[in-house]
Structure 1
Amino acid sequence: MAETAGALASAPFELRSASLTLEAVSLRTRDLGVLKRALQAQLGAAPGAFDGEPVLVDLGVAAEDAPALDIAALVALLRAHRMQPVAVRGGTPADRAAARALGLVEAPESSGVREPRTVVQEVLREVRVEVPVEVPVEVPTMVIDRPLRSGQQVYAKGGDLIVLAAVNFGAEVIADGHVHVYAPLRGKAIAGARGNTQARIFSTCLEPELVAIAGTYRTTETPLPAEVLGRPAQIRLEGDRLVFQPV
């Protein structure tokens, strides 16, 4: 018995239960060309937004006769934006088979996809009960007080960005939270870069090349409403539509 206990104590590994919470990339199109352009618009200006984090690819509900999806090309496209696909959900049987062939796990519908809130667990050892407790999250804020020229980029990872000088043509301001520009905004502004749909963009003089919130974007190809162009305004997301409001 003593020998068996000693062998167990020196075992080179042990198995334990574990859980992993993932970001989910939910596709709304099977057209990889459209997806590539959308990813470039939202994440191309923020190459470190995901920084190799694992993601679950949600292909949604697809009919048996849905157009074929090149899973290998999809995985390569996501990896090009520093995401690391590890699991797939939904799609057609052919989609899931192709994903398994690439080493991706087929996730159940109740998989641990990250919710847009922060929860901590308080463990009461006396009764062995885990109580989820919602706590306020302190969001870091980055402040820039110099003008940004063409080719310059500022990214506020995990928080808000406040710019106190002009964002000129060709410059980019990006934040996982809100973007505030208390000066002319003439370059690109991306808020909610990692999917925060509650993020907003504010400027005292709105003249942007591109604005985007949580992946929904608008460029100069579509003129801004006259009541906000060159004026103080805010931009928010309402469903899949950007709403421009004077302030």
Structure 2
Amino acid sequence: MLFHLGGTAIYFLLFGRYMQEVAILPRAPIGSRLQWQLFEAWNCANFFIAIGLLWAQRWARWGYIIGGLLGFSLIFFMYQQTQKILFVELLFSVPCFVVFVYLLYRKDAHLYFSSPTTLQRPRTPLRRRLGACLYVLTTIFAFWSLNAIVLGITEIYPQTLYRDKLAFLALPMIAIAEWIGKTPGVVSRVSNLAIAFSVYLMQIFLYKYASPYTAQIGPSLWQLRNWAIGVSSVSIVLLYLQFRRYRQQLSTKS
């Protein structure tokens, strides 16, 4: 959610004064200005929901579900005259929504959301806090490096076409963050980061590739495809390593 919000914010910074002149959904039953106002309100609500999920607030789960259902209801209302776009939107939105709701209500998620009120967390050592901060900065840097091809602005600003290569610098930054933090569970942590990027990149690539209404064309689309496949492959390898470690721990206990 934060990745999508970051991309939207960058898009508004680049094209904000021109965007309200063009409707998000042509031929929709409401005007372009109202469409953008609803879109902005939805993004503001998603920001607070995302922060609530990070801080393990129970209301954030309900906020995510309610926001998703309201979004789908709005899609049905606005797309009643454009059935083709409706199919493409739902093809990518509904499965992701169902999977994320399932993940939010798994047993381990219940423990996560109950911990702020039932457990007293010990004070985090300074090294771990510094390592966590560096992880956040690494994520922001990698996101910034990839956003040119993700948002499709490389055709407008050709000098940004190869900025995605800077994302490789995130690897030594992660290694430094791990060395500073010295926190157990490095594979799980890097796996979470890789999965977040792979879901984000693959979802955007598939939508842009399948939808006839997206504006991105040219080499940046295939760069996006390569990154989506590459990061997804890394995620699969890391998940396999986690699974092997879990099996080894089970065999050791038995």
Q: TM-score range by the shorter chain?
A: under 0.3
As a proportion of its length, which structure holds more strand?
A: 1
State the TM-score, normalized to the length of structure 2: 0.24
Higher relative contact order (CA 8 A, sep 6+): 2
